[in-house]
Amino acid sequence: MTFSTQQKSVTVPSSLETEPQPIVSEEEMRQAVRTLLLGLGENPDREGLQDTPKRVVKALKFLTSGYHQSLDELLNGAVFHEDTNEMVLVRDIDLFSSCEHHILPILGRAHVAYIPDGKVIGLSKIARICEMYGRRLQVQERLTKQIADALQGLLQPKGVAVVIEATHMCMVMRGVQKPGSWTSSSAVRGVFAEDAKTRQEFMNLIRHSPSFS
């Protein structure tokens, strides 16, 4: 696994981190789904498909709800001053996202560690950060980087490390059709990038994860 040695100190804006979206009504979205069904050769008026446009729009809005969350709202003040400098690791965080190229699922796990420098974050908030960025149209490389940069900007710790292992349904269900294939991506900041021993300690800890067995 290759780690980037680039170190960044990133301040993450508290406002919504996406460009303004065009205003489209829910009815227009439903009509778009209906058009897709017609294009697939289906009859959107048959019993089993009558409510499908409504369900698809509702599902897509949920799966991309991360666009409408901010780190400030998510954290809700759960950053605390603490005199500790030992590694904090939350591993095996279930991760669900959607490939931006085909809008098909990305399924996997994230392992997130940081070394505090006077501030710590509520452990559940690490999972929430992964969830927020996961619930967007993504590529795995960007998702990994966004999680690392968010923690780096929020805590200014001595270092951050993120590894994601995921399987992509766009490779499993279509295209090359390779079930069982997994993609690993990593992002390291601070001492994890600079110190091989610290980086190795992190890797040794996550290798005990079921997803690495």
Domain boundaries of the chain, sorted by first residue: 26-63, 76-212
Q: Does the annotation count 99 as an active-site position? A: yes
Q: How many angstroms separate the CA atoms of 158 and 156, rounded?
A: 7
* Strands annotated E in the chain: 79-81, 88-99, 105-115, 119-121, 137-138, 159-168, 183-190
CATH number of 76-212: 3.30.1130.10
State residue 12's pLDDT score.
42
Q: Does the annotation count 73 as an active-site position? A: no
Percent over 90 (pLDDT), the chain? 76
Q: Does the annotation count 170 as an active-site position? A: yes
pLDDT > 50? residue 143: yes
Q: Are strands 119-121 and 105-115 parallel, antiparallel or unpaired?
A: unpaired
pLDDT > 90? residue 212: no
Of 31, 42, 102, 194, the active-site residue reads: 102
Of 99, 111, 138, 146, the active-site residue reads: 99
pLDDT > 60? residue 128: yes
Of 140, 146, 152, 165, the active-site residue reads: 140
The pTM assigned to this predicted structure is 0.84
State residue 204's pLDDT score.
95
Q: Does the annotation count 101 as an active-site position? A: yes
Of 100, 156, 194, 201, the active-site residue reads: 100
With CA atoms as reference, report the closest residue to 89 among 123, 41, 135, 137: 123
Q: Does the annotation count 82 as an active-site position? A: no
Q: How many angstroms separate the CA atoms of 144 and 87, rounded?
A: 19
Q: Does the annotation count 111 as an active-site position? A: no
Looking at every residue in the chain, the average pLDDT score rounds to: 88
Q: Does the annotation count 130 as an active-site position? A: no
